[in-house]
Amino acid sequence: MSSDNKPAGRLIKAPENFLDPAGVRQVFAEAKAGRRGFIRSAFMAASAAAVAPVAMATSNPVGSGEGDPNILSLPEHSKGLGQPVVTDGYGKPSKYEVNVQRRQSPGLTQTAQASVSFAPLQSLFGIVTPSGLHFERHHQGWWDIDPSKHRLMLNGSEPAMLKRAMVFTMDELMRLPSVSRFHFIECGANTGMEWGNVAVPTVQYSHGMLSCSEFTGVPLRVLLDMAGVDYKKARFVLAEGADGSSMTRTIPMEMVENGEVLVAYGQNGEMLRPEQGYPLRLVVPGVQGVSWVKYLRRIEVGDKPYGAKDEAIHYMDLMPGGQHRQYSSIQECKSVVTTPSGGQVLLDKGFYNISGLAWSGRGRVKRVDVSVDGGRNWRTARLEGAVLPKCLTRFNIDWVWDGKPGLIQSRATDDSGFVQPTYGQLRTARGTRSIYHNNAIQTWLVQEDGEVKNVQLS
């Protein structure tokens, strides 16, 4: 692996296969050797430039000592015509960003159609997840469904639940009142490996079943009103997808009545991507991703929870003492530092911007505190605005690394007063056998040699 085609500041790419520790060590070693050399020569070039700024405006190459001798000569891109405007072609990222990719976790599932690809959180900025890097979770693979043939049916478990069953074409849905809102989506199993104290090495694999988009669609409430739903009787909604998994999930009517649940066709300005349920998915703000049914084809209203396969067997929390809890679908307040994070390497002492994400399925993030000493001392981070409900919030805080080992943590508080728990607090309440809804405080160990590792502090 070459370290040349990596974006500046990313320090190191996520190892492609985290199950191969030898490979990871090699990547670290190469990156450190290459990058430290590069940084050193860059500083020397910078010093040369500072005393001879004219070099940047002429075609005379200026020697820069160690490193690339042409680094300050006038580059090709300053001399002539570049590429023409892109027309009839959908734009792509720079070729230097080719390592910023969703990645699958080998061996996590038996088929790649019922698997996960994780979003590269360590390389992302702000709160918007580019749709090309949005995490994926499929139960039976993804499809590119013809929107002109797709239908959404709305019916009742019994005739008395509504005045009329209805079927909508996409055309009809897109003529109805629409809203646009930013929301995060997180798989209930995100950070699931960590329940078992398996410290996966990068934030992509530990927290990467998390994304955030601007969604556009029709409030489901509008459709239910059109169908004349009797809200006294119909207290639950069943959402059903059109793909082979026939995913079905129960949504309590309170979530729908307040207008928050959307029948969405738009994501980040354009139509949903096929991997995200094109042409139609449910958006259930604050709730785990499995309820955001993709390829949405049917809504049924009824008077009790449906106890569908993915509610009765999967997506349940195993609790201490052999108990379990069901329908625990809300993603509680959580945060994670994305830079620096596991798999990255700090190349030098000095100033760093610690950056991360915070979110709560209950509402807005109120505050994020950051520790660099494993929770002994905390400072409050700066939240990038606007801070929106049930949406990712980006936080940043200054840090001067003294070169000694550090333990970096973030702890979010939401506007309901909920404070993100430590692993000790989480395990006391919920045991150690769950897969879902791990929202404990994440710790990154910064070693003296600059390597960042995932460790668990109780």
- Positions in 224-283 near its own copies (CB under 8 A): 242-244, 246, 265-266, 268-275, 278-279
Does 222 bind its own copies (CB under 8 A)? Our answer is no
Does 20 bind its own copies (CB under 8 A)? Our answer is no
Report, in Å, the least distance between residue 260 CB and its own copies: 13
Which has the closest alpha carbon to 145: 282, 271, 268, 269?
Answer: 271
Does 19 bind its own copies (CB under 8 A)? Our answer is no
Which has the closest alpha carbon to 434: 332, 323, 358?
Answer: 323
Does 171 bind its own copies (CB under 8 A)? Our answer is yes
DSSP state of 316: -
Tokens for 148, please give them: 């002109």
Q: What are phi and psi of 252, to 5 degrees?
A: -65, 140
Residue 269 exposed, middle or buried by CB count within 10 Å (0-12, 13-18, 19+):
exposed
Does 355 bind its own copies (CB under 8 A)? Our answer is yes
Nearer to its own copies, 52 or 312 (CB): 52
Subset of 195-214 contacting its own copies (CB under 8 A): 214
Subset of 56-75 contacting its own copies (CB under 8 A): 56, 68, 71, 75
Subset of 399-458 contacting its own copies (CB under 8 A): none
Q: What are phi and psi of 176, to 5 degrees?
A: -85, 165
Q: H or E segment at 262?
A: strand 262-267
Determine the interface stretch with its own copies among 94-102, 229-237, 301-309, 408-416 (rule: CB under 8 A): 94-102
Which of 33, 37, 60, 96 touches its own copies by CB under 8 A? 96
How far apart (Å, rounded) are the C-alpha atoms in residues 38 and 46?
12
DSSP state of 422: P
Determine the interface stretch with its own copies among 110-118, 281-289, 368-376, 442-450 (rule: CB under 8 A): 110-118
Determine the interface stretch with its own copies among 48-56, 194-202, 231-239, 412-420 (rule: CB under 8 A): 48-56
The amino acid present at 140, given as its one-letter code, is: Q
Determine the interface stretch with its own copies among 22-30, 38-46, 436-444, 447-455 (rule: CB under 8 A): 38-46
Nearer to its own copies, 230 or 318 (CB): 230
Which of 13, 32, 102, 334 touches its own copies by CB under 8 A? 102
DSSP 21-56: HHHHHHHHHHHHHHHHHHHHHHHHHHHHHHH-GGGG
Q: How many CB atoms lie within 10 A of CB 330?
A: 18
Nearer to its own copies, 143 or 231 (CB): 143
How far apart (Å, rounded) are the C-alpha atoms in residues 16 and 10?
15
Does 127 bind its own copies (CB under 8 A)? Our answer is yes
